[in-house]
Structure 1
Amino acid sequence: MSTPAAAYISPDYLKMARWKDNILSFPIQNSSHSLIANSYYFGHPVWARNYLAVVHRDQKFQERWFAVTGSWQDKIVVDIGCAPGNVYASLRDRVGVPKLLLGVDVSRGGLAIAQELGYVPILADAQKLPLKSGFADLVVLNAALHHCDDMPRMLAEAARLVRPGGLLVTDQDLQQTMWCNNWIAHAIWNLRLPIYRFLKRGGHTTGEEQHWCQATEVHHMPGDGVTETFFREILEPMGFEVNLYPHNLNVGAEVLQSERGKQAWNVGLAQRLSGRDPDSVEGALVMLCVAKKDLAIPCVTT
């Protein structure tokens, strides 16, 4: 198998590996509507390029992520749910050149774009990764968990890859408590779609794009999302020290001092109408998880 990823493929998956369009590909055994939507939306030749150009590319994102991950120079990094490569595209001027940058996604078109940025692409289901355990210095999932049907399984699979002393970072998944889960919140949530469509907001420029964009976000609505318990119950038994930082999108490195940043005025107004205080910890839009694996945990590369 002629790829830098070969040394990290689990022996159980070697016979399943196939090359297609210069991308190492593994069978997707349990497809779903959301998986198909993610494959289509993030592989669309126009939508994916637009997504790469504007999403997760702002200065606060860069400051926050560099403060958390530090240098990637000469490290083995795995970006799960990498889409067209937004995380490294945003950070590469700060973090340096990894020894190996693996990008895992279900979208062949998205992976082809990520490959242009230096990713070694792997098409695979994030809920059942074809990779060995305990080899990665850094595993990242940015705005990825809520796109997956089985969030606990995706998180556990990602954590499995981290070596002792390594780091797992997830960010930009909706915090479950961000909304009061009532009819007002759901009404406001549904009302935003025609408004976004009228404004031609990114991801909503046409009816077709909006349909597929929404279909990708399985766990991104009132009453759903990530919680402190979710992260701790999965990661702590696997030997991770877990630090959690609820935040809004306009906060940089100061997130590590538990600064949350201010909620956007329109989101804050919607929250107040639903009964949630946007200035509370519970009202923070998303949650950042920084989990370090204990050095004492044995490294089993299977």
Structure 2
Amino acid sequence: MLDDILLPGVLLNYSNGYWQSNIEGNSDGRSANAFYFGNKEWAREYFAFCHRDAHFRNRWLAAGGNWTDKVVIDLGCGPGNVFATLGGTPRLLVGVDVAGGSLEMAAGIGYTAVLADAANTPFRSQIADIVAINASLHHCDDMQAVLREGARLVKPNGLLITDHDPQLTAWDYKGVARLLWNARLGIYRLLRHGFHKTGNQQSWGLKTEVHHRPGDGVTREFFTSTLEPLGFEVAVHPHNHQVGEAALRGDVGPAQWKYRIGNLLSGRDPAAPGSALSLMCIARRRPEVAAARA
């Protein structure tokens, strides 16, 4: 079925359980992502610890429904966390990433895995019922280019769903909060923060976070200004991760103490939507727009 969705003239090579397309150019961010998520041991830890909880599953099922019998393209799929958490039986499930080690894992749980640039995929336009971009935009050099590429792949009435990208206003720390942010690597190592086992692993993980820093990240305006002109109805939902479908009704959920302190030290209300850690964007392609351009 992969041949049915490829652009004319595209030929992919198959090796190590996944398909490979040509990726032009390189950057520090892309190299970091390929190295970090290509490390199979690190990818297994990421798979086990990230985006696997009940809140995540509940929120995504409310946003896009069950994936059974749908054509789904997962841009920045990593080792396959989203599908592993949601389940279902898609008609075609394509995972795109730059990290071979992660793609091998994704292929092992049911993805048709493709090594490709998420901003320049080898697929025809308007082929997917759902395009998923989870915790991926902020790892990419050009977030808007990847968002536009995801939009290009969505069928009329189909959905583009993004989640777990840092909200700019929540992470734009000021004063003492900014100083603590700048010192975070040493603090993390001292406290043995997170699932990283070594400082080297953590250092490489942070290098992949191209747009996860004060003064950077996604905004409501980023999603609406990019997607609405392309013919999408756009809904954006701020949340603090530990909340399910209630996020779609305006409940941002509880924030961990360290993020509450960061926002308080920055002079912001930690309970405000603008202080929520991430934005979930649910965008539906209007059918009349696609018909008018056909």
TM-score, normalised by the number of residues in structure 2: 0.96
2:148 corresponds to 1:153:
no
2:6 maps to: 9
Residues 180 and 276 in structure 1, CA contact (< 8 A), matched pair in contact too: no
What letter matches 2:137 in structure 1?
Answer: L
Q: How does 1:1-302 map to 2 (within 5 A)?
A: 4-12=1-9, 14-15=10-11, 17-92=12-87, 96-202=88-194, 204-298=196-290
Give the aligned length.
Answer: 294
CA–CA distance in structure 2, aligned partners of residues 234 and 228 of structure 1: 10
After superposition, give the CA deviation of every residue in 1:26-64 in whole Å (9 maximum; x if it has no partner).
111121111111111111121100110111011111111
What letter matches 1:164 in structure 2?
Answer: P
What letter matches 2:187 in structure 1?
Answer: I
| Structure 1: segments with no counterpart, 5+ residues | none
Q: Secondary structure at the match of 1:297?
A: helix
CA shift in 2, pair 1:197/1:121, >3 Å:
same
What letter matches 2:8 in structure 1?
Answer: P
Using the TM superposition, give the Cα deviation of residue 128 of structure 1 relative to its aligned residue in structure 2, in angstroms.
Answer: 1.0
Using the TM superposition, give the Cα deviation of residue 183 of structure 1 relative to its aligned residue in structure 2, in angstroms.
Answer: 4.2
TM-score, normalised by the number of residues in structure 1: 0.93
Residues 163 and 299 in structure 1, CA contact (< 8 A), matched pair in contact too: no
| Structure 2: segments with no counterpart, 5+ residues | none
CA shift in 2, pair 1:280/1:240, >3 Å:
same
What letter matches 1:11 in structure 2?
Answer: P
Sequence identity, in percent?
46
Residues 81 and 105 in structure 1, CA contact (< 8 A), matched pair in contact too: yes
